[in-house]
Structure formats: structure tokens, C-alpha cells
């Protein structure tokens, strides 16, 4: 019986140094548990869009990334987080754009654990970090 491939997670980050640091922390945790992590739009099992909403240009780029992620990875779990999700219209708009999970900034650390639990239950990952 062949093993299922490790889950692939695309982490797409817009905006400030805090978003960059948060995305790097998510990547480290996912890598430690055996996931493959990429930083470009591509087919994946999950796509995390850590979005920005400082300007209307950043808003537009954030919307574009969510739509692009859905188009490139139609079966993926699309996660929208960052200040774009926090703004007043972010939640409803995120769902209309195709995001599956809308995660507040304060809950970003839970994204990796939530994905890992799902893949462990599917037998795609072991129970803990890889050496």
C-alpha cells in the first residue's frame, strides 16, 4: 500500500512585517509536522491568504489572491486571515470570494493545528513533529 503524499500548503502573504512573521511561524509549524510549504499560488491541499487591508490596492490584491487560490486549487481549504478579514466587510466578502475559513488575527496560531488535526485524522500525517 502506498503512502498518501504529504499535504501541500501555500502561504500567500500581503502587507506588514507582522503578517510576514505570522506566516513564517505558520510555515515552521507545518514543516515540522511533515507538510510541504510553498509561497506562491499553486495547486495545494490548503491555501492560507494572510491578507492586508491598509489601502484599496492591498484590498484588491487580497481579493485577487483568494480568487486565484480557489481557481488553482478548487478542492483546497482556503483560509483568509489578516487585517482584511478583520475589516467590517471582510467576513461576508471572504465567503463570497470562496474562502472556507475566516480566521481573526488573534486566532492565527490555531490555523496550523486545525489543518494538522484534519490531516492526521485522514492518515496523511503522523501524530507529532518530524525529526
> Which residue(s) pair with 36 in the sheet?
8
The single residue listed with the C-alpha cell 492591498 is 58
Domains of the chain are: 8-121 (3.40.50.2300)
At residue 54, the pLDDT reads: 84
51 φ, ψ to 5°?
-100, 165
pLDDT for 52 equals 86
* Residue tagged 461576508 (cell numbers): 92
Name which of 29, 37, 28, 32 is nearest 8 in CA terms: 37
pLDDT of residue 81: 92
pLDDT at residue 129, rounded to an integer:
63
Please check whether residue 111 is in contact with residue 48, taking contact to mean a CB–CB distance below 8 angstroms. Answer: yes
* pLDDT at 119 (0 to 100): 94
Residues of the chain with pLDDT below 50 are 1, 131
Cα four-point dihedral sign 44, 50, 51, 52: negative
Amino acid at each position: 500500500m502506498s503512502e498518501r503524499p504529504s499535504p501541500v500548503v501555500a502561504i500567500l502573504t500581503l502587507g506588514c512585517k507582522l503578517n510576514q512573521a505570522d506566516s513564517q511561524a505558520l510555515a515552521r509549524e507545518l514543516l515540522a509536522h511533515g507538510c510541504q510549504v510553498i509561497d506562491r499560488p499553486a495547486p495545494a491541499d490548503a491555501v492560507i491568504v494572510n491578507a492586508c487591508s491598509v489601502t484599496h490596492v492591498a484590498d484588491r490584491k487580497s481579493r485577487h489572491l483568494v480568487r486565484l487560490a480557489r481557481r488553482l486549487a478548487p478542492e483546497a481549504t482556503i483560509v483568509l486571515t489578516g487585517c482584511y478579514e478583520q475589516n467590517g466587510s471582510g467576513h461576508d466578502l471572504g465567503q463570497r470570494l470562496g474562502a472556507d475559513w475566516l480566521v481573526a488575527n488573534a486566532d492565527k496560531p490555531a490555523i496550523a493545528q486545525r489543518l494538522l488535526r484534519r490531516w492526521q485524522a485522514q492518515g496523511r500525517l503522523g501524530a507529532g513533529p518530524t525529526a
